[in-house]
Amino acid sequence: GATAKAGRLVAWRDELVQEHASSMIEVDDRIALRAGELLAVARSNGAAPGGEDALIAATADALGFEMVTFNAAHFTAMGIKTRQPAR
């Protein structure tokens, strides 16, 4: 079953990339290094957000994007200003 599941995931990923390629942002060295810095900040503040959140925060920070999230706690622990989306 694992091989079939892996095949479905690869197909899903390929479709996602093809459909959204023009709006995808590559994780470059600058973003990856910033994510590591943000994880260190969060850990020094007693939080342990995941690497995915750190990459999202680093991308927003590096590119000057506003961080909009319902999960502000992980991002504020990294020192990233957030706002909650309108409902």
| Contact (Cβ atoms closer than 8 angstroms) between residue 76 and residue 82 | yes
The answer on pLDDT for 86 being more than 90 is no
Phi/psi-derived region of residue 79, left when phi > 0, alpha when psi is between -120 and 50, beta in every other case? left
For residue 67, the cross-strand partners are 82
Q: Tell me the pTM.
A: 0.78
In the prediction, which pLDDT does 75 show? 92
Confidence class of residue 71 from pLDDT cuts 50, 70 and 90?
A: confident
A 10 A CB-CB count for 35 gives 23
Tell me what the mean pLDDT of segment 21-32 comes to. Answer: 94
Confidence class of residue 58 from pLDDT cuts 50, 70 and 90?
A: very high
Model pLDDT for residues 33-57, shown as the tens digit of each residue: 999 999 999 999 999 999 999 999 9
In the prediction, which pLDDT does 55 show? 96
Rounded to whole angstroms, how far apart are CA atoms 12 and 8?
6
Please, which contacts does 29-37 make with residues 24 or more away whose CB atoms are closer than 8 Å?
30/62, 31/55, 31/58, 31/59, 31/62, 32/58, 34/58, 34/61, 34/62
